[in-house]
Amino acid sequence: MKTCAYCGTELTSNYCSFCEMQHTDRYILQDGERLDNSIAYYPAQHDIFKSTPQLLRLETMELLCL
């Protein structure tokens, strides 16, 4: 069964009625699985000088670390 990666609600489409948002395939998991919120690495301090298009590709957790 397809479920929302954030709340675990069963999905019939890409829209989660509990979170009230449309999901891409990356955020649709199976059988109530949830996203792993750990990040693979912590960004280096000099990454704060990246351009805006480069920063837009980072995950929220990486941006919070910066």
pLDDT of the residue at 55: 92
Residue for token digits 């199976």? 30
Q: Which residues pair with 30 in a beta bridge?
A: 2
Q: Phi first, then psi: what are they for 11, rounded to 5°? A: -110, 140
pLDDT of the residue at 27: 87
Tens of pLDDT along 3-62?
999 888 899 999 999 999 998 888 898 888 888 777 677 788 899 999 999 999 888 888
For residue 60, the Cα-to-chain-centroid distance in whole angstroms is: 8
Question: For residue 14, what is the DSSP state?
Answer: S
Tens of pLDDT along 29-43?
888 888 877 767 778
pLDDT of the residue at 42: 79
Contact by Cβ (8 Å): 26, 2: no
pLDDT at residue 66 greater than cutoff 80: yes
